[in-house]
Amino acid sequence: MPKPPEPHMSRTHSLIRTIVVPRDPDSVWRTIGRFAGLTDWHPTVPPSVMEEGDDPETPGAVRGFVLDGVVVARERLLARDDSARAFRYTVFDTPLPITDYVATLTVVAHDEGAEVRWSAIYNGADETVPEVERLFGDVVYATGLAALRARFTTPTEAA
């Protein structure tokens, strides 16, 4: 019988949140498809700054999120593909005890409009999963996706 993993042993985990909005995928992508544009549509993320004058849409660009003048997290754009309506980035500076965090934000066609998928894989101890699910999955991903749903289902946006 296999031995269970040690409690603090780092393993690969994943998370995903999705939402369907009643708009065509290209319209949704125009709203969320810029790496530097997260604060344009997400209501709760702190302001971000591009480091060292990086072109925010070129792989390798780094954005830092700032609270009270202090950078609290940093992310690097790994890939961006407008034709696939997707970008991938890594969170490499975070207060959470995780490593190798790679997230993907994608917009795909759906029978009811567009499905937005925000997913990630990362390494961390099993006991970190609830906090990662809460912070990234619920506070960041789910909150942002709910804001998109509201944005694209209000009468002024749907017109």
Taking the CA of residue 70 as centre, how many other CA atoms within 13 Å lie in the half-sphere pointing to its CB? 5
Looking at residue 53, its pLDDT comes to 78
Looking at residue 4, its pLDDT comes to 54
Residue 9: CB atoms within 10 A of its CB come to 10
The helix (run of H) or strand (run of E) holding residue 63 is strand 62-67
Looking at residue 7, its pLDDT comes to 56
Looking at residue 158, its pLDDT comes to 43
Confidence class for position 159, pLDDT limits 50, 70, 90: very low
pTM exceeds 0.85 for this model: yes
pLDDT in tens, 10-62: 899 999 999 999 999 999 999 999 999 999 999 998 888 888 877 889 999 99
* Single-letter residue type at 100: D
For residue 16, what are its two tokens?
A: 């995903």
Residue 7: CB atoms within 10 A of its CB come to 8
Looking at residue 5, its pLDDT comes to 52
How far from chain centre, in Å, is Cα 75? 10
Q: Which CATH number fits domain 10-158: 1.20.210.10, 3.30.530.20, 3.30.300.20, 2.40.10.480?
A: 3.30.530.20
Mean pLDDT of 88-96: 93
